[in-house]
């Protein structure tokens, strides 16, 4: 969790990132009309964060139906909520400890059957719900989960630690995880892409978009978006197709052509045809390999190559 008071912005900065309604409630202590809020009758499992600064505020396990027209919680996440007595001394205002945003008021001793006998009466507008990826009890200690999503070329590394969590996308599972039928591929690929990726076609040399192209970034599979090559491994082989001296680790599969003469390279995730790899041609590169890749099989993203490894 961010340190208390660590998010501070001027009114104009808040107006730039909040809707007028969010600004009125969070920054001007407004109140949404009862019974209208998005989270009044809402009981999914997850965490409610501050809409202003994303700090986690309440677990869904502390939410209860108070029948008052606003979301009610019997306690906040430890350290996430600050309390201040209203100027007229009648009510206690509750705020996000991180950005000071107005949440609502807290009431004590109303007789609700909850562990604290408190009701945090919170504007839905002040909150942003994030569904739980796993049991919320795991928020109480630090654990890491590796979630492999089949049919997506991603693995998610999710770390829960003291009520906050981070998600890291790591390299694709090296086994083929994107599988589609021919008809499904035809629906998402152009005829040219289908012919090359799925029927092992080859574009006419010298015609490809990335043949003479040396910008800094990442080349990904056009079929499944998996990152395949960094621009720092691209070189000008003069052969009429994009040439790379190595692929991203685990991203490329190799198999001998049926005639045994060449080695085909495919996307490890969706098995899409990329081209062929040739060894020992004498290019002055670290691997002395040339991945000869169809421009049609790849798409370019102008990212920093260092952000991928
Ligand atoms: Zn906040
Ligand atoms: Zn692919």
> Where would I find the H helices in the chain?
11-17, 20-22, 182-188, 191-197
Which of 251, 280, 91, 117 has the alpha carbon at shortest distance from 171?
Answer: 251
Which comes out higher in pLDDT, residue 149 or 13? 13
Q: 52 C-alpha to center of ligand 1: Å?
A: 5
Q: What integer is the mean pLDDT of 144-152?
A: 46
Can you give the pLDDT at residue 306? 53
User: What are the distances in angstroms from CA 59 to CA 49, 70, 136?
Assistant: 9, 16, 8
Residue 72 has pLDDT above 50, yes or no: yes
pLDDT 10s digits, 225-272: 999 999 999 999 999 999 999 999 989 999 998 888 899 999 999 999
How many Å is the Cα radius of gyration of the chain?
27
Let me know whether 108 and 53 are in one domain. yes
Residue 160 has pLDDT above 90, yes or no: no
Q: Residue written as tokens 């994009």?
A: 242
Let me know whether 157 and 80 are in one domain. no
Can you give the pLDDT at residue 60? 95
Q: How many residues does the chain have?
A: 309
Count other Cβ atoms within 10 Å, centred on residue 141.
9
Let me know whether 15 and 68 are in one domain. yes
Confirm whether 15 is domain-assigned. Answer: yes
pLDDT class for 173, splitting at 50, 70, 90? very low
Q: What is the CATH number of the domain that holds 26?
A: 2.170.150.20
Q: Which numbered ligand comes closest to the C-alpha of 55?
A: 1
Give the lowest-confidence range in 74-88, 100-114, 173-187.
173-187
Let me know whether 125 and 155 are in one domain. no
Confirm whether 240 is domain-assigned. Answer: yes
Long-range Cβ pairs for the range 144-153 (8 Å, 24+): 148/173, 148/177, 150/177, 151/177, 151/178, 151/179, 152/177, 152/178, 153/177, 153/178, 153/221, 153/224, 153/225, 153/226, 153/269, 153/270
Can you give the pLDDT at residue 132? 78
Q: Are 98 and 51 in contact (CB under 8 A)?
A: no
Let me know whether 164 and 230 are in one domain. no
Q: Which numbered ligand comes closest to the C-alpha of 268?
A: 2
Angstrom distance (rounded) from CA 121 to CA 91: 11
pLDDT class for 5, splitting at 50, 70, 90? confident
Let me know whether 112 and 23 are in one domain. yes
Count other Cβ atoms within 10 Å, centred on residue 255.
10
Let me know whether 140 and 126 are in one domain. no
Q: In the chain, count H helices and then E strands.
A: 4, 21
Q: 221 C-alpha to center of ligand 2: Å?
A: 5
Can you give the pLDDT at residue 106? 96
Confirm whether 175 is domain-assigned. Answer: no
Confirm whether 176 is domain-assigned. Answer: no
Q: Kindly list the catalytic residues.
A: 121
Q: What integer is the mean pLDDT of 279-283?
A: 91
Let me know whether 219 and 296 are in one domain. yes
Angstrom distance (rounded) from CA 150 to CA 178: 7
Let me know whether 111 and 15 are in one domain. yes
DSSP state of 60: G
Residue 223 has pLDDT above 90, yes or no: yes
What is the overall mean pLDDT for the chain? 86
Let me know whether 147 and 162 are in one domain. yes
DSSP letter string, 216-237: SSEEEETTT--EEEEGGGEE--
Q: 101 C-alpha to center of ligand 1: Å?
A: 5
Number of domains in the chain: 3
Q: 259 C-alpha to center of ligand 1: Å?
A: 64
Confirm whether 6 is domain-assigned. Answer: no
Can you give the pLDDT at residue 174? 43
Which comes out higher in pLDDT, residue 121 or 136? 121
Final residue belonging to a domain, choices 112, 147, 170: 170
What share of the chain in percent tops pLDDT 90? 72
Confirm whether 89 is domain-assigned. Answer: yes
pLDDT class for 179, splitting at 50, 70, 90? confident
Question: What does the CA dihedral 35, 39, 43, 46 come to, rounded to 10 degrees?
Answer: -170
pLDDT class for 217, splitting at 50, 70, 90? very high
- The first and second tokens of residue 3, run together, are 């340190």
Q: 51 C-alpha to center of ligand 1: Å?
A: 7
Q: What integer is the mean pLDDT of 95-112?
A: 94
Which of 299, 301, 300, 297 has the alpha carbon at shortest distance from 192?
Answer: 297
Q: Which numbered ligand comes closest to the C-alpha of 297?
A: 2
ipTM of the complex: 0.52
Residue 23, domain extent: 11-131
pLDDT 10s digits, 14-56: 999 999 999 999 999 999 999 999 999 999 999 999 999 999 9
Let me know whether 193 and 284 are in one domain. yes
Q: Which numbered ligand comes closest to the C-alpha of 197?
A: 2
Give the lowest-confidence range in 4-8, 36-40, 77-81.
4-8
Q: 270 C-alpha to center of ligand 2: Å?
A: 4
pLDDT class for 201, splitting at 50, 70, 90? very high
Q: 199 C-alpha to center of ligand 1: Å?
A: 53
Q: In which order are the strands placed within the sheet that holds 81-85?
A: 63-64, 72-73, 118-122, 102-108, 92-96, 81-85
Let me know whether 238 and 151 are in one domain. no
Residues within 5 Å of ion ligand 1, judged at the Cβ atom: 50, 52-53, 55, 96, 98-99, 101
Q: What integer is the mean pLDDT of 187-193?
A: 95
């Amino acid at each position: 969790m961010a340190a208390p008071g660590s998010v501070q912005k001027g009114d104009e900065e808040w107006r730039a990132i909040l809707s007028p309604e969010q600004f009125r409630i969070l920054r001007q202590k407004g109140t949404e009309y009862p019974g209208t809020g998005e989270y009044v009758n809402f009981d999914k499992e997850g965490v409610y964060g501050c809409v202003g600064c994303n700090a986690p505020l309440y677990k869904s396990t502390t939410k209860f139906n108070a029948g008052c027209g606003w979301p009610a919680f019997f306690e906040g996440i430890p350290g996430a909520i600050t309390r201040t007595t209203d100027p007229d001394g009648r009510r206690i205002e509750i705020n996000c400890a991180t950005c000071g945003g107005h949440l609502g008021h807290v009431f004590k001793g109303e007789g609700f059957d909850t562990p604290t006998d408190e009701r945090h009466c919170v504007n839905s507008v002040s909150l942003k719900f994030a569904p739980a990826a796993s049991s919320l009890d795991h928020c109480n200690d630090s654990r890491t989960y590796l979630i492999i999503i089949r049919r997506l070329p991603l693995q998610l590394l999710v770390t829960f630690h003291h009520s906050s969590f981070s998600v890291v996308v790591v390299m694709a599972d090296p086994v083929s995880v994107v599988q589609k039928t021919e008809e499904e591929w035809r629906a998402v690929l152009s005829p040219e892409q289908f012919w090359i990726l799925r029927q092992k076609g080859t574009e006419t040399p010298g015609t490809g978009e990335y043949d003479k192209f040396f910008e800094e970034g990442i080349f990904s599979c056009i079929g499944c978006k998996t990152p395949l090559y960094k621009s720092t491994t691209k070189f000008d082989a003069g052969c009429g197709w994009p040439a790379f001296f190595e692929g991203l680790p685990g991203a490329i599969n190799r198999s001998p052509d049926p005639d045994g003469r060449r080695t085909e390279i495919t996307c490890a995730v969706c098995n899409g045809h990329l081209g062929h790899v040739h060894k020992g041609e004498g290019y002055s590169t670290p691997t002395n390999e040339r991945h000869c890749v169809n421009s049609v099989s790849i798409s370019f993203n102008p990212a920093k190559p260092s952000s991928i490894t």
